[in-house]
Homo-oligomer: A and B are copies of this chain.
Amino acid sequence: MIGVAVVGYGYWGPNLVRNFNDTPGARLVSVCDLNKDRLSAVQSRFPAVKITDDFEEVLRDPDIHAIAIATPVSSHFRLAMSALMAGKHVFVEKPITPSAEEAQRLVDEAARRKLVLAVDHTFIHTAAVQKMRELAQTELGEIYYYDSVRVNLGLFQHDVSVVWDLAVHDLSIMDYVLSQRPVAVSATGISHVAGEPENIAYLNLLFESNLIAHIHVNWLAPVKVRRTLVGGSRKMIVYDDLEPSEKIKVYDKGITLNGNPQKAGENRYQALVGYRSGDMWAPHLDVTEALGNELREFIGCIENNGTPTADGRAGLRVVRILEAATLSLAQRGRVIELEDVRRVA
């Protein structure tokens, strides 16, 4: 049995606690938080679990083999690095750290000590995103574009911009679904609350191939949208996470190039290309909870010296893009090169 501690029992911590409690192979040993009321809540629901407000106690506990960190982003590096240095495997909330430099150090430390370092990119453990990856690799042909919209009203945050809060989901999904890595990023956005970070942003991701990616995130939209279009040379996908059951729709649609297009100007409305329109298909998707799948994988990696799907390097790749996007936002969308993202791929 892998002994687990959960550090941070705020918004997401309770989900980790509940799921680790149900994960075969894991034993929930301890929960750590600075807030007494939260700790009492843990105690009354899970009387067998130790509670503490002292992280050092967790580090010293020989029954604890892995630490899950669900605290504010600014503390991720310090806590994760301490855990690794104490010989504990680490599962950390996304984004892995507030900077790529820190993420790199965690990746290196985990590698040196042969410890599992996983980052909680929850969406990639859903049946919908896994199906999208499978389709991208088998059915879509050459990928032409990846376009995602993630907008709603709230929840404004004041320590990070909407990019770090919402686009992180799209970037982690895209990192998983596509086999290519972006080479440059630009971002435009604006804040409507004086002195606060951007609440609307548009990210462009450039690739070496003919692929383009774009992400639109917004905390100030009147309607909730979670929609991704992925266009390929053979098929195209619409992924709508708000659909109750048909989240993935695959369209047998596309263009076919005519060998001998007419000369420009001769006929403005002459089609340059032919259009192919076939069936639409919505594959059945399982409804297991993503977080449960993810924690089972994490425990399995510890047991078998495996590498999690979203390891520290995946977390690092996402943070490099977030960092570059933040830089670009501050410069009205200047293109920032991302050689490093490719290197860690």
Which A residues are closer than 8 A to B by beta carbons?
10-11, 44-45, 47, 72-74, 144-145, 147, 149, 151, 153-159, 184, 186, 188-193, 196, 200, 202, 204, 206, 210-212, 214, 216, 218, 220-224, 229, 231, 233, 236-238, 242, 244, 246, 249, 251-255, 257, 261, 264-265, 268-273, 275, 277-284, 332-333, 335
CA–CA, A333 and B249, complex, Å: 31
A280 touches B277 (CB 8 A): no
A265 partner, pick from B74, B190, B216, B279, beta carbons under 8 A: B74
CA–CA, A188 and B204, complex, Å: 7
- Rounded to whole Å, the gap between the CB of A323 and the closest CB of chain B is 18
Once A283-B279, A284-B278 are accepted as A-B contacts, the answer to whether A244 and B268 lie under 8 Å apart by CB is no
- Rounded to whole Å, the gap between the CB of A283 and the closest CB of chain B is 5
- Rounded to whole Å, the gap between the CB of A28 and the closest CB of chain B is 15
A155 partner, pick from B196, B212, B271, beta carbons under 8 A: B271
A280 touches B188 (CB 8 A): no
CA–CA, A168 and B153, complex, Å: 29
List 9 additional contacts besides A157-B268, A186-B332, A222-B236; criterion CB under 8 Å. Answer: A11-B269, A72-B265, A153-B253, A188-B204, A222-B231, A222-B237, A223-B251, A278-B284, A281-B282
List B contacts of A275 (CB < 8 A): 153-154
Once A202-B202, A212-B200, A332-B206 are accepted as A-B contacts, the answer to whether A144 and B277 lie under 8 Å apart by CB is no
